[in-house]
Amino acid sequence: MEYSSPTSLLLCPPIDLIQNVEKDAGSDSSSFVFDSTHHRNQASIPRQFVWPASERSGASNELQAPVVDLDGFFRGDRASTELAAELVRSACTDHGFFQVVNHGVSPSLVADALATAEEFFKLPLVHKLRACRKPRSMWGYTGAHSDRFSSKLPWKETLSFANDGMASQSVIPDYLIANLGTEFHRMGKVYERYCKAMEDLSLSIMELIGISLGVDRSHFREFFSDGSSIMRCNNYPQCQEPELTLGTGPHCDPTSITILLQQGDVDGLEVFTGGGWRLVRPMSGAFVVNIGDTFMALSNGRYKSCLHRAVVNRIRERRSLAFFLCPREDRVVRPPGCLVEQGEARKYPDFTWAELFDFTQTQYRADTRTLQTFAQWLLSSNTSSSRRLCSG
Ligand SMILES: C=C1C[C@]23C[C@@]1(O)CC[C@H]2[C@]1(C)CCC[C@@](C)(C(=O)O)[C@H]1[C@@H]3C(=O)O
Ligand SMILES: O=C(O)CCC(=O)C(=O)O
Ligand SMILES: [Fe+2]
């Protein structure tokens, strides 16, 4: 999937639903550019980075996200697979966050991916901007998303690649070479391998999730096998006023599942569960996995897409690598029959990933209520809304 301008049927939403995409061409902040080396040395942060107090209250305690050992599942051991599926089921019905260990991704690949991200983010801004993200594309560098938004800017830089199973065709190295120069070939190769490893791991996790839901174990693996995922490197620079801002604002991932690598020992990821924000500490050798909105819809609401955010700090910069698994753009997201009990209503209408992705890029800045607002919007803007809710 190219993640460029879609020819969507969603171009005329009811005006009251377009709430939080506030970047207006020609606004006074349209020329604002986040240069972390400059901005982090000022006395205070620019006002565009200040978030409302209600969205940045501190974390109260830790969330011990269940640790799922994948070794027995990979070996085909029945008892270990059942145990792993049970852990996944309870985590996903509760808050949607768990961690995986013995996942088969080589530690040296992980180290290489983090090291190359560090090399990239340490480049001078003018250099990074050569790979800057074009409007409505999923490829490239952004500083604080200031090209898209003018307030509540996140204190972060990102580098993203779309990953539609074409990794083996050198698209990532080719993109980096074309935009940054031939010396980025190696970085491209590292991300090509990392994306392939994430693709394989995400499909295995989908199989385990299928088992945990009592669905044919190959159902979700197949559904996502020709998916078009997104790989994103996040860099959160040190911040002189961390209590005023956020690295990534409160949101539920619109995607299906996210496999997140938290770098080293710098805290930042927080999940809202049990009435408060709770820190998920980085665990060496583990990936954090969370359910996103698209999977919540696919499971007819059984598995939760939970609110989370990333905070920043004064002392240490932080990096994370997020792999967002998405279905092929035109696949209809509809729960399998066995997840809609007889007489039970469908919780969400049918949609395609292209529609939801487009919504987050052009209509609605992903936040705490993305799926709810999107579903409402689809049903009110489309005449065939009854077709979108049938359970067949
Ligand atoms: C489909 C997507 C939109 C965002 C990237 C992603 O691939 C998955 C998560 C979304 C995001 C990270 C949620 C928080 C707000 C956001 C604007 C961000 O801070 O990056 C979101 C991404 C986006 O680019 O719209
Ligand atoms: O960096 C993190 O820990 C979380 C980032 C995140 O939630 C996201 O990119 O969707
Ligand atoms: Fe997220």
325-336 pLDDT tens trace: 999 999 999 999
* 44 belongs to a structural domain: yes
Give per-residue burial for 121-140: e unless 16+ CB within 10 Å, then b.
beeebeebbebbbeeeebbb
pLDDT of 166-206, one tens digit each? 656 789 999 999 999 999 999 999 999 999 999 999 999 99
| Two structure tokens written together for 294 | 């698209």
pLDDT on residue 381: 81
Domain range for 205: 15-332
Residue 70 vs residue 1, higher pLDDT:
70
pLDDT on residue 324: 98
Q: Is 280 a pocket residue for ligand 2 (Cβ < 6 Å)? A: no
pLDDT of 88-113, one tens digit each? 999 999 999 999 999 999 999 999 99
Residue 364 has pLDDT above 70, yes or no: yes
Residue 64 has pLDDT above 90, yes or no: yes
pLDDT on residue 22: 57
Residue of the nearest CA to atom 9 in ligand 2?
A: 322
- Pocket test of ligand 1: the residue of 251, 256, 374 to mutate, having most ligand atoms within 8 Å of its CB, is 251
Residue 71 CA to residue 104 CA, distance in Å, equals 8
ipTM above 0.95, yes or no: yes
Q: Is 234 a pocket residue for ligand 2 (Cβ < 6 Å)? A: yes
* 185 belongs to a structural domain: yes
Ligand that comes closest to the CA of residue 163: 1
* 328 belongs to a structural domain: yes
Residue 26 vs residue 39, higher pLDDT:
39
| Two structure tokens written together for 389 | 């809710």
Q: Name the domain count of the chain.
A: 1
How many Å lie between the centroid of ligand 3 and the Cα of residue 51? 17
How many Å lie between the centroid of ligand 2 and the Cα of residue 154? 11
Residue of the nearest CA to atom 10 in ligand 1?
A: 253
* 343 belongs to a structural domain: no
CATH number at residue 121: 2.60.120.330
- The answer to whether 248 touches 310, Cβ cutoff 8 Å, is yes
pLDDT on residue 163: 82
How many Å lie between the centroid of ligand 2 and the Cα of residue 385? 33
Residue 118 has pLDDT above 70, yes or no: yes
* 389 belongs to a structural domain: no
pLDDT on residue 57: 87
% of the chain at pLDDT higher than 70: 89
Residue 361 has pLDDT above 90, yes or no: yes
pLDDT on residue 16: 39
Ligand that comes closest to the CA of residue 255: 1
How many Å lie between the centroid of ligand 3 and the Cα of residue 172? 22
How many Å lie between the centroid of ligand 1 and the Cα of residue 366? 6
Please give the distance of CA 360 from its chain centroid, rounded to a whole number.
12
pLDDT of 32-50, one tens digit each? 899 988 988 899 999 999 9
Residue 74 CA to residue 190 CA, distance in Å, equals 24
Residue 28 has pLDDT above 50, yes or no: no
Identity of the residue numbered 252: C
Exactly one of 278, 309, 318, 365 is catalytic; name it: 318
Ligand that comes closest to the CA of residue 268: 2
pLDDT on residue 168: 62
pLDDT on residue 391: 62
- Pocket test of ligand 2: the residue of 160, 320, 367 to mutate, having most ligand atoms within 8 Å of its CB, is 320
* 383 belongs to a structural domain: no
Tell me the mean pLDDT in the region 278-294: 98
* 195 belongs to a structural domain: yes
Residue 9 has pLDDT above 60, yes or no: no
* 148 belongs to a structural domain: yes
Residue 18 has pLDDT above 70, yes or no: no
Residue of the nearest CA to atom 10 in ligand 2?
A: 253
Q: Which residues line ligand 1 (CB under 6 A)?
A: 145, 154, 230, 248-249, 251, 253-255, 324, 357, 360, 365-366
Annotated catalytic, 318?
A: yes
* Crossing angle between the packed helical segments 185-213 and 78-94, to the nearest 10 degrees: 90
How many Å lie between the centroid of ligand 2 and the Cα of residue 160? 13
| Two structure tokens written together for 383 | 């005449």
pLDDT on residue 227: 93
